[in-house]
Structure 1
Amino acid sequence: MRRGLDHVVHLVRDVDAAGEVYDLLGFTVGSRNHHPWGTHNRIVQTPGFFIEILEVAEPEKIPPHDGAFFSFGAFNKARLARSGEGLSMLVLEGTDPVGDKADFDAAGIGGYDLFDFSRQARRPDGSEVEVGFTLAYARDPIASETAFFTCTQRKPENFWSPQMQRHANGVTQVLGVVLVTDSPADHVSFIDTFSGCTPRRAVDGWFVTQTPRGAIDLMTPELFTERYGVAAPQGEGLRLAAVRFDTPGAADLRRGLAARRMLVEQIEGIAVVPPTAAMGATLIFERNEDAAAG
């Protein structure tokens, strides 16, 4: 089954401060939500994809990992203590969580129980609704800094909001995510099984996986720095380094970000917000010329 990008988790120490950063970048940011296990989040939506800005707000509530139970909260709590803020989880869209788990188990990258949960969410008009999700976890044994799962929406009509997908920076969609590792070829099989899409070699040390929603770039830290002008996140194995967005207003955005000193050195055709300005994440704004031509 081919699986498109669903969301990433941006792990931060202060979710409201991070929300202010995303607001400065021209995004519409949702209100604070609470998970029953002690993490809080705020959501930035694009069509079919979102960034989950996450804070470990009530660590005393977080359950530990236990056998086949993967603790979302425990992973992010340990990740924050070990490596600090940054992109901690890559999530693909699920439609059949039982089938996803079976695929992952059969390939030797699963072994975790499905996880179902619900929480309250607030609509733009202030009313509260219930949203629900089923998660199917996968694991790359040499990716301690990043977790992977599929997310199946049980009440998508309560979650997705066209109003929350209109952004002052003009962002219209996600273009992809970028993973870095010292040995990209060692992770090709995992990405193939996890996404259901075949990675293609671009150049030595760089593979591109085109999913139904966005690309997964897998490259060495050296290539990442050469291409985007910022250092890759530190750590062993596979690390989630960046999110790429499509915006027709990239040129205006570059000027605004440069004035706020939130932009790396000028790179042709794109605007790169570095980890020092975006709480450990690299956020990339570019113009998808294929979309523009269409």
Structure 2
Amino acid sequence: MTHPLDHLVLPTASLEVARARLSLLGFTVSARGKHPFGTENCCVYFPDGTFVEPLAVTDQDAADAAVIAGNVFVARDRLYREKFGPEGFSAVVFTNLDADEDHRRYVGADISAGDRLDFSRPFVDASGQSDTVSFRLAFAALPQMRENFVFACEKANALNIDRAALETHANGVVAITQIIAIASEPAKMMHFLGIAAAEATCESDHRLNLPNAQIVVMTPARYAEKFGLACHEDNNFGFAAIVMAVADRQAARRHLVSAGINHEIRDQRIIIAPAPGQGAAFIFEEQS
């Protein structure tokens, strides 16, 4: 079965800056979540279960130890920051039901990025109720993707926490609809992503269909032409933008104007360039 989108990882230098930026954009941001290997997050959740994960390194000693121990998640995050700086869009994550099976597939297809990872962390909802969540991860990347990566995430235990209050946003965003990937060779990137997402169907115009979203692969030149944005010149196999559905585009724009957020209107889309705390471009489209 084709894996759905689970979440997107956005490295940031500071969770405080990320929270301030995302809140100004009109998102409800969760409490901090602490990983056992030196990183923390504060997430933006959507009603379909997908989310955006700003990620900061908050315990350098723990992160160093994790890299030495072979933790692929922390090691890739470090490589990304060393090449592109502390702000960006490093990983696309798929939901799966069996991380061991995905790891075997990735190894067999010669796209494995390293050993599987199991971990648990506490989760706190908007009312302060807490629980513990556990995950099993399998990692994949192309040789050209030395910093960016994807991984499949198996949730080893079900959450008993209602996060509905975290899924309502003042800007009216209701879902992630597309991820914009950048590749100098789009066909190679599409083939890789199709394997990583477990036989996702690929359209002729470089669109990968997941059950709950699409991944669209563009050359850097096409990305600049379509959205008026530049991607990092050194990142020829990576991720650049997140397209989100809003209930009312005009209402979303009024919120951005009142918050003083710079943006552009292009082809009926609201385009918000990356900024500190917002490592990807955000593109708002009215829900069809």
TM-score where L is the length of structure 2: 0.92
Residue 168 in structure 1 maps to residue 170 in structure 2: yes
Structure 2 counterparts to residues 120-269 of structure 1, below 5 A: 120-158=122-160, 161-195=163-197, 196-202=199-205, 207-269=206-268
Rounded to whole Å, the distance in 2 between the matches of 1:32 and 1:43 is 8
- Note the C-alpha offset of 1:175: 0.3
1:78 matched to which residue of 2? 79
1:115 to 107, 114, 117: 117
**Contact 1:130/1:158 (8 A) holds in 2:** no
Query: Aligned AA for 2:60?
Result: P
Task: Give unmatched runs, 5+ long, in structure 1.
Answer: 290-294
**Contact 1:250/1:287 (8 A) holds in 2:** yes
- Note the C-alpha offset of 1:216: 0.4
- Note the C-alpha offset of 1:96: 1.4
Rounded to whole Å, the distance in 1 between the matches of 2:186 and 2:41 is 31
Residue 49 in structure 1 maps to residue 44 in structure 2: no
**What secondary structure does 1:172 align onto?**
strand
Query: Aligned AA for 1:33?
Result: G
Task: Give unmatched runs, 5+ long, in structure 2.
Answer: none
CA distances 1:206-257 after superposition (whole Å, capped 9, x unpaired): x101101100011111111111121123324311101111111221222332
Higher mean alpha-carbon deviation, 159-168 vs 19-28, is at 159-168
**Contact 1:254/1:263 (8 A) holds in 2:** no
Query: Aligned AA for 1:250?
Result: R
| Percent of aligned positions that are identical | 28
**Contact 1:6/1:50 (8 A) holds in 2:** yes
Rounded to whole Å, the distance in 2 between the matches of 1:164 and 1:83 is 30
Rounded to whole Å, the distance in 2 between the matches of 1:278 and 1:54 is 10
- Note the C-alpha offset of 1:186: 2.2
Q: CA RMSD in A?
A: 1.9
Query: Aligned AA for 1:75?
Result: R
**What secondary structure does 1:213 align onto?**
coil
2:90 matched to which residue of 1? 88
Structure 1: which 4+ aligned runs deviate by more than 6 Å?
Answer: none
**What secondary structure does 1:152 align onto?**
strand
**What secondary structure does 2:190 align onto?**
helix
**Contact 1:31/1:42 (8 A) holds in 2:** yes
CA distances 1:44-79 after superposition (whole Å, capped 9, x unpaired): 101220111110111111135469x44312321232
- Note the C-alpha offset of 1:276: 3.4
**What secondary structure does 1:166 align onto?**
coil
Query: Aligned AA for 2:281?
Result: T
- Note the C-alpha offset of 1:176: 1.6
| Alignment length (residue pairs) | 284
**What secondary structure does 1:37 align onto?**
coil
**What secondary structure does 1:241 align onto?**
strand
2:34 matched to which residue of 1? 34
Rounded to whole Å, the distance in 2 between the matches of 1:27 and 1:237 is 30
**Contact 1:139/1:147 (8 A) holds in 2:** yes
1:5 matched to which residue of 2? 5
